[in-house]
């Protein structure tokens, strides 16, 4: 049996032992303690001695408060960018995790636990409200040497699934070629999907331009939407003819 040690008047962290308290279950020795904040509490002797408990609980509250107010930018747009960046690379519950953390994309140690470091880099490297953080190499993580600030359009051009086409000594993404030629992005992708040569994809004139429909930031012809969604074009045409909105026409499930 271990020797009893009187802890009266001894100090442990923010706690000062006042007197012995009634033993806990299994005869564990407990002590009445006064915390620096003025609150009295009962703590097990073992927790005092090994440093597990150093206050009535106020210490952790103060630590959390300090973490929240260290940089004073918790509600800033950049803080939201930082949190979102960590979320999609670390939390499996994040809807974007499979395309980031799920395939090995990570946030560098310099930024991961230090928002101020990320903030300093952002403000010194062209950040402005409305810009998005973009990885230069889409197979590498978030770090100062692999990130830049871009517009949403520029970032779309840098997507890892964006195909590059080389023609007439020029190499651009499909989206960039579409902008340069004044042809809808979806038309070029549809031609590629059909197996056209790059020359034909980029040089063949667009005949009988179809009506374009925009939904979820994507613009395509009805035929292209039908191919993407796996829904018959006639079904979409009937829905629109009945007065359905384009959103309902494209998203409502087809009843068997």
pLDDT, tens digit, for every residue of 3-59?
A: 778 899 999 999 999 999 888 666 788 999 999 999 999 998 888 988 888 899 898
Specify the pLDDT at position 209.
47
What residues contact 20, with CB distance under 8 A and at least 6 apart? 6, 8, 29, 30, 31, 32
Query: What pLDDT band is residue 254 in, cutting at 50, 70 and 90?
Result: confident
- Which pLDDT value is given to residue 152? 66
Position 122 confidence tier, pLDDT thresholds 50, 70, 90: very high
pTM: 0.40
pLDDT value for 41: 92
**Whether 44 contacts 28, CB under 8 Å:** yes
pLDDT in tens, 89-114: 998 888 888 888 888 889 998 898 88
Rounded to 5°, angle at Cα 204 from 199 and 210: 135
Pairwise CA distance, residues 39 & 152, whole Å = 53
Does the structure show a pLDDT above 50 at 239? yes
SS3 assignment, position 150: strand
Residue 203 has pLDDT above 70, yes or no: yes
- Given a cut of 70, whether residue 160 has pLDDT beyond it is no
Average pLDDT, the chain: 82
Is residue 202 within 8 Å of 165, Cβ to Cβ? Answer: yes
240 pLDDT more than 70: yes
In the chain, what percentage of residues exceed pLDDT 90? 19
Average pLDDT over residues 62-75: 66
Q: Is 64 exposed, middle or buried (0-12, 13-18, 19+ CB in 10 A)?
A: exposed
């Amino acid at each position: 049996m271990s020797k009893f040690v009187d802890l009266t008047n001894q100090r442990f962290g923010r706690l000062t032992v006042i007197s012995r308290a009634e033993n806990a279950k299994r005869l564990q020795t407990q002590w009445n303690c006064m915390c620096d904040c003025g609150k009295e509490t009962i703590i097990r002797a073992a927790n005092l001695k090994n440093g597990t408990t150093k206050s009535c609980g106020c210490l952790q509250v103060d630590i959390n408060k300090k973490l929240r107010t260290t940089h004073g930018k918790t509600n800033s747009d950049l803080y939201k960018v930082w949190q979102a960046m960590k979320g999609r690379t670390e939390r499996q519950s994040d809807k974007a995790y499979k395309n980031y953390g799920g395939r090995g994309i990570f946030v560098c140690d310099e930024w991961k636990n230090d928002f101020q470091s990320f903030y300093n880099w952002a403000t010194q490297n062209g950040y402005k409200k409305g810009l998005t953080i973009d990885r230069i190499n889409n197979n590498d993580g978030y770090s100062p040497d692999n990130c830049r600030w871009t517009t949403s359009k520029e970032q779309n051009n840098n997507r890892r699934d964006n195909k590059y086409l080389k023609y007439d000594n020029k190499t651009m993404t499909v989206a960039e070629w579409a902008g340069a030629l004044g042809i809808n992005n979806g038309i070029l992708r549809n031609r590629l999907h059909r197996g056209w040569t790059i020359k034909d994809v980029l040089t063949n004139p667009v005949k009988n331009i179809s009506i374009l429909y925009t939904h979820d930031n994507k613009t395509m012809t009805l035929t292209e939407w039908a191919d993407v969604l796996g829904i018959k074009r006639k079904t979409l045409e009937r829905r629109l003819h009945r007065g359905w909105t384009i959103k309902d026409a494209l998203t409502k499930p087809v009843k068997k």
